[in-house]
Structure 1
Amino acid sequence: MSKVRIDIVSDVVCPWCIIGYKRLEKALFELKAEQIEAEIHWHPFELNPAMKAEGQNLREHVNEKYGSSEQASRSARETLTELGQQVGFDFQFNDEMRIYNTRKAHQLLMWAQQENRQFQLEMALFKAYFSDNKDVSDEAILLEIAQSVGIDSDTAKRVLEDESWAETVASTEQQWLEAGINAVPALIFNKKHLVSGAQQTHHLVQALREVAALEEE
């Protein structure tokens, strides 16, 4: 059995991050017969760390940040929706959708890792934002999501209010920036091999085979 550590640097409001993960999931399923398994760790990356509390209309945000026209933005959303369907994820984009700050979501995610609830919480946050159009910066909604994956709401509330967790998120993000990660998703295999972006499943299969072979040498 070959075990590959995979560190995933991502944000829960990044559509390519969930597409990239779902493609990775398919790649790992294909490799089961070859006895290649993964130990996955998620790490924070805020796409919009300075985003105001009320968020911003997603179309306006994309236009301001990337200069995309309304037609280009609509086309991109249609493409993402189709890609989501291909990997079994439901994107529900609409004209009123907003982009939010994700610092508090990442506080919960970092804490949840030590409780073995990180994966469930990560998936629930992607679904809450992209499928259910929920405000993932809202503390009440975050507590709801935490409860849905078996996290005690009082404990989650303490994590959300604990400034030391906010500082931990910020310092971790800074470490990734200093390591050269400035876009997500970013996958690091065995702490040495970087795969950037939402790569196609067959590329991930090949990369995982190569990494597993290197570890056996």
Structure 2
Amino acid sequence: MQTLKIDLVSDIACPWCAIGYARLEQALITLPELNVDLQWHAFELNPDKNAPQEHILPALSRKYGRSEDEMRSAQSNMMHIATELGINFSKLQQRFTCNTFDAHRLVKWAATQQKATAMKLALFNAYFGEAKDVSDASVLAECAAQAGLNSADAARILQTDEYSDTVKSDIAKYQQAGISSVPAFIINNKYLISGAQEPAQLAASLRQIANEMA
């Protein structure tokens, strides 16, 4: 069985990243001949830790220069896509902006226990499904527990600088590589697939890459 290494650059605050991962899962179901080594990498949509939190619709409206109604419509479309994929986006439009640096630290910690994906999914659910503040230490510890990790260990890590350098290095590496939007799938350190592509299209791309690497 051929193995593809997939480095998935994403942010917990990015709904298309949650959709992109769910679509990757669907694509891989159609590729039983492939084994995938998936590694999560950090990206920050809101890198300013000191920025005041803001309701997501006016924040997106200002960022993209579009009306709140347009942003509400775009968010509604993502909610529909998420429902079809079986992921919880029920409070997508009720959330607030937040910094995700500490959340990324816990994903790095979770990776040492082979639970990075479980941690990432718990964070997606908390932010998009429950509109929780994923920069808050108590919320993050709760997500760790949901991912099958020790919440007390998570709380302890958040009181230190553990994994901060790892996250900073991760972010810098992919910025220097030219990654400016997420999700970004880097296959075998060579091929880049940008955006949350449809499962069939993603499967076709992965199959083609696997054939070329064979």
Q: Same fold (TM over 0.5)?
A: yes
Query: How far apart, in 2, do the equivalents of 1:157 and 1:180 lie?
Result: 33
Query: How far apart, in 1, do the equivalents of 2:52 and 2:152 lie?
Result: 24
Query: What is the deviation of 1:38?
Result: 1.0
SS in 1 for 2:28: helix
Corresponding residue number in structure 1 for 2:21: 21
Corresponding residue number in structure 2 for 1:195: 193
- Does the aligned pair in 1 maintain the 2:186–2:192 contact within 8 Å? yes
RMSD value over aligned CA atoms? Answer: 1.4
SS in 2 for 1:133: coil
Partner residue of 1:172 out of 170, 173, 193: 170
Query: What is the deviation of 1:164?
Result: 4.3
Corresponding residue number in structure 2 for 1:85: 83
Is 1:7 the counterpart of 2:7? The answer is yes
Corresponding residue number in structure 2 for 1:48: 46
Query: How far apart, in 2, do the equivalents of 1:162 and 1:214 lie?
Result: 44
CA shift digits 1:159-193 (9 cap, x unpaired): 21222422321221011000010110000111110
| Residue segments in structure 1 that go unaligned for 5+ positions in a row | none
Corresponding residue number in structure 2 for 1:144: 142
SS in 2 for 1:3: strand
| Residue segments in structure 2 that go unaligned for 5+ positions in a row | none
Q: When the two structures are aligned, how many residues end up with a matched partner?
A: 214
Corresponding residue number in structure 2 for 1:39: 37
CA shift digits 1:53-93 (9 cap, x unpaired): 65211012102211120110111011101111221112123
What pairs with 1:80-159 in structure 2 (closer than 5 Å)?
Answer: 80-93=78-91, 96-159=94-157
Taking only the aligned residue pairs, the percentage that are identical comes to 39
Query: What is the deviation of 1:52?
Result: 3.3
SS in 1 for 2:163: helix
